[in-house]
Amino acid sequence: MTREATIRQILVITDGCSNIGPDPVEAARRAHRHGIVVNVIGIVGRGDAGEQGYQEAHSIADAGGGMCRIVQPADISATAQMMTHQTMQMTLQQVVNQELLAVMGKSTEDLPPADRARVMQVVEKLEDEVALHLVVCLDTSASMRDKIPTVREAVRDLALSLKVRSGPLAVSVIAFPGKGEEATRLVQPFSSEVNVAALEAELVARGGTPTGPAIDHAADLLLSHARNVDEDAPRREFG
C-alpha cells in the first residue's frame, strides 16, 4: 500500500496580492478537485495591501485543502518543512479514517486509546514511505527582491529535510512571473534533488504577481508527472 501511494502538493511562497491572470483561489480549487493540496506561506506586510494579501493567502489555502501561515522571512524555512509534514499527516489520516469507516464503521476518534495510538503509528510509517510529488511556486515579483535570498535557502532546506524520508521524492520549482510576457517559468523540472545552480540563476525579482497562473502551471506539472510515472502500474493517489 505505502509504495503505491502518492501525495501531491503545491507550496506557494508569496508576499503579496495576485494582480495578473485568473483568480488564484479558483486555481487552488481546481487543483484540489484533482487531489492536489495547496499550501501557502505568506510574507505580507501591514496596511491595506497587507490585509488583502493576508486574506488572499488564507483563501487560496482553504480552497486548496491545505494550510496557510503568515511569517517573517527568517521563519520561511522552518514553516515550509512544518507545513509539508503536517499536511502529509492530515492527508494520510483522512485516508486511514476512510479505510476504518469502510471496514469497521468507525473513525480513528471512535477507537479506544490503545488502538488509536497504533493507528497513529501506521500514519507515521506511511508518511515516511509514501511518494511525495511537490511543486514549489516562488513569487519573484519586484516586491520580493530583498526576500529572494532567504526564499532560496528555504527551498534548499526543505529539499534536504525531505531527503531523509525513505519514500520516493520528486520536487519541481517554478517562479512567477516568468521572463518577458510569460506569467511563469520552470526553474527546475521534477527531480529527487533541488538544483542549487538553477535557484541561484533563475530567481530574479521582476514584474507583477500572477499567482493564479502559477498554481495552474504547478497543477499541470503534477498531473502530467502522475501520468508519466509508472503509467501502467496500479497506483493509489492521495491529495
Most distant CA pair in the chain: distance in Å?
59
Residues in the chain: 239
pLDDT at 215: 98
- CATH number for position 139: 3.40.50.410
- For residue 177, say if its preceding peptide bond is cis, omega within 30 degrees of 0: yes
What H or E segment, with its residue span, contains residue 7?
strand 5-14
pLDDT tens digit sequence for 41-66:
998 766 555 678 889 999 999 999 99
- What DSSP character marks residue 163? T
CA quadruple 44, 50, 53, 54: dihedral, nearest 10: 80
pLDDT at 16: 78
- What DSSP character marks residue 155? H
Its domain, for residue 104, covers 5-238
Low-confidence ranges of the chain (pLDDT < 70): 1-4, 45-50, 95, 97-99, 101, 230-239
pLDDT at 223: 96
Grid coordinates of 120: 497513529
pLDDT at 231: 58
Grid coordinates of 129: 514511505
pLDDT at 46: 64
Number of domains in the chain: 1
pLDDT at 123: 75
Measured CA to CA, the distance from residue 174 to residue 190 in angstroms comes to 10
Q: How many CB atoms lie within 10 A of CB 160?
A: 13
Grid coordinates of 222: 503534477
Measured CA to CA, the distance from residue 229 to residue 189 in angstroms comes to 14
3-class DSSP state for residue 217?
Answer: helix
pLDDT at 122: 75
pLDDT at 1: 39
Which residues lie closer than 8 Å to 111 by C-beta, 6 or more apart? 100, 119
pLDDT at 208: 93
pLDDT at 114: 81
- What DSSP character marks residue 135? E
